């Protein structure tokens, strides 16, 4: 089941400029939600990837993710957003790993100056929902308008299109198509 959390009360945004849907996805669940958002907003889709890909083996990936978090690591990005300044609205998607965002999201969010932009989180999870990721996001993204996010269980992500549509309508995001 999907859930949303209000970060800026009843703040709503109309997408006047360009929209970016940036996401990191290990198992494909977050990618599916990102695609649903992109389909509804007409935004540009950008997959956040690391120079060294995470192992396809679940246990190896979990262990590395835990170590990265313990070491406060910043895995290097394999690709960059060409013109972040062109975007007014930035969706940021990730799976909940060890109670927060994967450390590559820290790399991504520290790389770009998002001040003055509207930032909208979305998260897939096993059972931890947002964990402390929203607090981390607020620290990494000062001086942004942070809108209500969308969290969905990884098991439900591929069936969440209707929930994504309702959430986007609720927060006032309209298509820029």
Residue 19: CATH number of its domain: 3.40.50.360
11-33 tens-digit pLDDT: 334 445 799 999 999 999 999 99
Cα separations in angstroms, 3 against 62, 82, 100, 163, 175: 24, 32, 16, 9, 21
Q: Which two tokens stand for residue 173?
A: 């995001």
Confidence of residue 170 (pLDDT cuts 50, 70, 90): very high
Is 175 a domain residue? no
Domain hosting residue 82, numbered range = 2-170
Q: What is the mean pLDDT of the chain?
A: 90
Is 177 a domain residue? no
Number of structural domains, the chain? 1
Is 28 a domain residue? yes
Is 176 a domain residue? no
């Amino acid at each position: 089941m999907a859930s949303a959390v209000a970060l800026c009360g009843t703040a709503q945004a109309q997408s006047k400029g360009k929209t970016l849907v940036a996401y990191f996805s290990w198992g494909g669940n977050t990618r599916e939600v990102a695609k649903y958002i992109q389909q509804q907003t007409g935004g540009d889709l950008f997959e956040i990837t690391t120079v060294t890909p995470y192992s396809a083996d679940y246990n190896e990936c979990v262990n590395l993710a835990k170590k990265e978090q313990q070491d406060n690591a910043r895995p290097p990005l394999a690709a960059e957003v060409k013109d972040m300044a062109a975007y007014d609205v930035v969706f940021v998607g990730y799976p909940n790993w060890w109670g927060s965002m994967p450390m590559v999201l820290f790399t991504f969010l520290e790389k770009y100056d998002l001040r003055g932009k509207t930032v909208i989180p979305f998260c897939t999870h096993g059972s931890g929902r947002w964990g402390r990721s929203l607090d981390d996001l607020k620290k990494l993204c000062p001086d942004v308008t942070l809108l209500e996010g969308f969290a969905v269980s990884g098991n439900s992500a591929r069936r969440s299109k209707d929930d994504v549509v309702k959430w986007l309508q609720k927060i006032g995001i309209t298509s820029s198509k």
